[in-house]
Structure 1
Amino acid sequence: MSSSEMQTFINGSETNFSGAHDWTNVYKAVSWIQLSMALLSILGSSSIILCLLSQRLSQKPELQPLFLLSVADLFLAVCWVIGAAIFFQPCGHLNTHCYNLHTVEQILYMASFFYTLNYVWNLFTTTRDKYSSCLSGYSVQFSNRVSTPAKIISLLSFVLPVLLMTPVFIQGNLSYCQANLTEPYRCLLMHTGALYLTSAQQLSSTCRLLHNYQILVFLVTFVLTLLSITVLVVKARRIYRRVVTSSGYLGTEQRASFHLLDRRMVLYPLIFVLCWGPAVSLAFLRVAKPTAGHGRAGVVLYIAQALTSASQGFFNCLVYGWTRVHLRRAGLTVLSREVDSRSPLLQIPQNRIYRTMRTMS
């Protein structure tokens, strides 16, 4: 987007723009941003999927949540690409599919929320069980097969979004809500309409109710997921802190490794907020104060949403895919340094702990 176009929509007032056609350049810029970020997400999520499949690790209990999250990110990114591609197509009849495309998108990003929570829960329980076994000094055998409860949780993480969005799909098509999405920009992003609505662009009562239902479900799901992730990360950090400081002394290198672990675990909720913060803010404005959601604040959030939401798969690849390796290395480094700093008699129980960590990692 050129600087002149950016200045136009930032400095322009609502009274100067009454229709969507005045924002063609903005929609075009957003479509390119969405397409670029979605392609990065496809690249990132595909790399994790191919890596796990090539090494036959997708069914490992500790890696299956990451695999499922990457699959959800991949399909969501494909939907982003399709939406951006429809914007550039001259065929107007394709725009009527935007309603169903947005419904599928909401199923996928809600599923990605649940798979993210499932991943963090798996990380927390694994950390709790492994470090508890280290504290007791006894090795615990972990199964290489995914447990039945884990399979049920993984299934529900996809089935629940489908059930929540089924009324939107059925009633929306029966009420011809797709007729309200005939403009090309309707396929861009999520919860998007004209940046400035006119009287001719108002939704029917049924479609407006379904639209508000979609937004509320999205907001509730996001808040619950974020709170759960934050609580689990805090608990996991406390468990690790308790294990590392159990000996009563923490050296310089051990402290540095622990701080590295702390910073990386904080990335989980931060990246989640980064990816979905603009979308959540825009959705909240559309419900709480519709006039603000269609004003200049809505335009800024609209563009920020294109940069962050569509790049979820890419950020998840960097944070969830690579951080787990560093977490394991940091934990082993701390324990191995602690073993080296002790006398031979005191090394006996600590060596047992270190061997336990090595076998479980």
Structure 2
Amino acid sequence: MDYHIMWVNMTEIDELPGVYSNVKWIQVVTSMLSIVGSGSIIGYAVFQNAVKSPEVRPLFYLSVSDLLLAFCWLLGAVLYKPYTHMQCFNLQAVGQMFYLSTFLYTINYVWQTFSNFRRRISNDLNQISEKEFCLGRIATILCSVIPVLFISPVLYYGNTKECYGNNSYSCLVLNIGSQITTDLQLYSPGGCAALRLYSTIVFMITFCLSTIGILVILGCTYRLFRKNQKDSRSLQDHLVVITVTKHSLLLFPSIFLICCLPVVTLALVSVKGINNCYQVWCYIQAFTAVSQGFFNSLAYGWTQQMIHCLKQKGCRDVDTQTPLLRSQKNLYASMQTSDGPRSVSAF
């Protein structure tokens, strides 16, 4: 039976058994690291009763998406063997669904971090409006619902029309659209080709809009930084908040771009077929595609350590009667998500 693969020719794929064999083991390691990393954030939030904290809750939801994506990635390595074409097709689609959710939850995290920072600077931690509360809940729900709505047609139509073929390799690479194939002897390839185009467009548009949204929020945060720098008293009072927010809004979006750009690049490179560039991006993607959960855990652990160090330093400064205001003790305590005062969270 002659299968024609829309995106990457299967005969070319068959020439790369070594590449995909290596990718498989890289995939196992990176997915396990991501499971441990995202699981550590989830465990910390649950056992420290910090899920309701406005600083932790958005990261908690992002970590759940990273965890589910990593499980899909690990399962793909287990299923990488002949005669698993339909399973790989469905796993690829579900993996894309979780990938879209990580995009949306990343921008949600950046937005909530900016909002929390703005409230702290304004000293209105306990004054979240009803409108903001509702918008936050709606945004959190949509981050999960939108990927399901977009990928459900791929799952339904792809399985109904059997838009899959001898492509067990797609269990390994999150190459958007690569899992969609057609059997030219049975039906016209137009429907499956349109499905591939739809899958690719949804992925690219979501990535581009998420990236643009993150950049816009970072721009707003930068303007708020500059505004507060004009008031040296305000800058001193909120030194910990400004320092930690600055590093968080630099680290987490950078991790997002580092982990997602190889997936986007591979999807574009694969249009031209298999070449040395394609193989290189396969390896890069295997290292980065689902590593966001692991890197996020490192970034979060580092920022928590920074808060702890700045808090102790600030308290020592207060105790030694330096010009640092004693009122900062309350500010430092509020930065602790485990036992400090919490504002009403809309998210």
> Which interval holds the TM-score relative to the shorter structure?
0.7 to 0.9
Q: 2:344 aligns to what?
A: none
Asked if 2 retains the 8 angstrom alpha-carbon contact of 1:45 and 1:73, the reply is yes
TM-score (ref. length: structure 1): 0.76
Q: 1:322 aligns to what?
A: 301
Q: 2:341 aligns to what?
A: none
Shift of 1:158: 0.6
How big is each residue's C-alpha offset from its partner over 1:109-156, in whole Å with a ceiling of 9 and x where there is no partner? 1011111111111100000010122xxxxx64257x994432221111
Shift of 1:335: 7.6
The change in CA–CA distance for 1:224 and 1:265 in structure 2 (over 3 A counts) is same
Equivalents in 2 of 1:148, 1:264: separation in Å? 25
Q: Does 1:216 align with 2:196?
A: no
Q: 1:175 aligns to what?
A: 161
Q: Does 1:273 align with 2:254?
A: no
Asked if 1 retains the 8 angstrom alpha-carbon contact of 2:240 and 2:332, the reply is no
Q: 2:56 aligns to what?
A: 63
Given candidates 140, 160, 163, the residue that maps to 1:154 is 140
Q: 2:151 aligns to what?
A: 165
Q: 1:9 aligns to what?
A: none
Q: 1:54 aligns to what?
A: 47
Q: 2:210 aligns to what?
A: 225
Q: Does 1:119 align with 2:109?
A: yes
Q: 2:91 aligns to what?
A: 101
Equivalents in 1 of 2:125, 2:137: separation in Å? 22
The change in CA–CA distance for 1:76 and 1:338 in structure 2 (over 3 A counts) is same
Equivalents in 1 of 2:312, 2:217: separation in Å? 23
Given candidates 21, 46, 62, the residue that maps to 2:14 is 21
Q: Does 1:297 align with 2:277?
A: yes
How big is each residue's C-alpha offset from its partner over 1:44-78, in whole Å with a ceiling of 9 and x where there is no partner? 01111111111222233332211111111111000
Equivalents in 1 of 2:86, 2:281: separation in Å? 25
Shift of 1:95: 2.8
Equivalents in 2 of 1:236, 1:244: separation in Å? 12
Residue 295 of structure 2 aligns with an amino acid whose one-letter code is F
Q: 2:293 aligns to what?
A: 313
Equivalents in 2 of 1:232, 1:250: separation in Å? 20
Given candidates 224, 231, 234, the residue that maps to 2:219 is 234
**Larger deviation: 239-248 or 19-28?**
239-248
Residue 99 of structure 1 aligns with an amino acid whose one-letter code is F
Asked if 1 retains the 8 angstrom alpha-carbon contact of 2:24 and 2:172, the reply is yes
Shift of 1:33: 0.7
Q: Unaligned 5+ residue runs, structure 2?
A: 1-9, 336-347
Asked if 2 retains the 8 angstrom alpha-carbon contact of 1:76 and 1:105, the reply is yes
Equivalents in 2 of 1:172, 1:232: separation in Å? 37
Asked if 2 retains the 8 angstrom alpha-carbon contact of 1:95 and 1:184, the reply is yes
How big is each residue's C-alpha offset from its partner over 1:283-328, in whole Å with a ceiling of 9 and x where there is no partner? 2334xxx22x432222211211111002121112222x22542564
The change in CA–CA distance for 1:221 and 1:230 in structure 2 (over 3 A counts) is same
Asked if 2 retains the 8 angstrom alpha-carbon contact of 1:229 and 1:269, the reply is yes
Q: How many residues align?
A: 317
Asked if 2 retains the 8 angstrom alpha-carbon contact of 1:142 and 1:360, the reply is no
Q: Unaligned 5+ residue runs, structure 1?
A: 1-16, 134-138
Shift of 1:338: 9.3
Asked if 2 retains the 8 angstrom alpha-carbon contact of 1:226 and 1:272, the reply is no
The change in CA–CA distance for 1:214 and 1:303 in structure 2 (over 3 A counts) is same
Asked if 2 retains the 8 angstrom alpha-carbon contact of 1:260 and 1:330, the reply is no
Residue 271 of structure 1 aligns with an amino acid whose one-letter code is I
Shift of 1:255: 9.3
Asked if 1 retains the 8 angstrom alpha-carbon contact of 2:240 and 2:310, the reply is no
Q: 1:79 aligns to what?
A: 72
Equivalents in 2 of 1:356, 1:235: separation in Å? 27
Asked if 2 retains the 8 angstrom alpha-carbon contact of 1:229 and 1:268, the reply is no
Given candidates 328, 334, 345, the residue that maps to 1:360 is 334
Equivalents in 2 of 1:81, 1:64: separation in Å? 26
The change in CA–CA distance for 1:282 and 1:246 in structure 2 (over 3 A counts) is same
Residue 71 of structure 1 aligns with an amino acid whose one-letter code is V
TM-score (ref. length: structure 2): 0.78
Equivalents in 1 of 2:235, 2:189: separation in Å? 64
Secondary structure of 1:271's aligned partner: helix
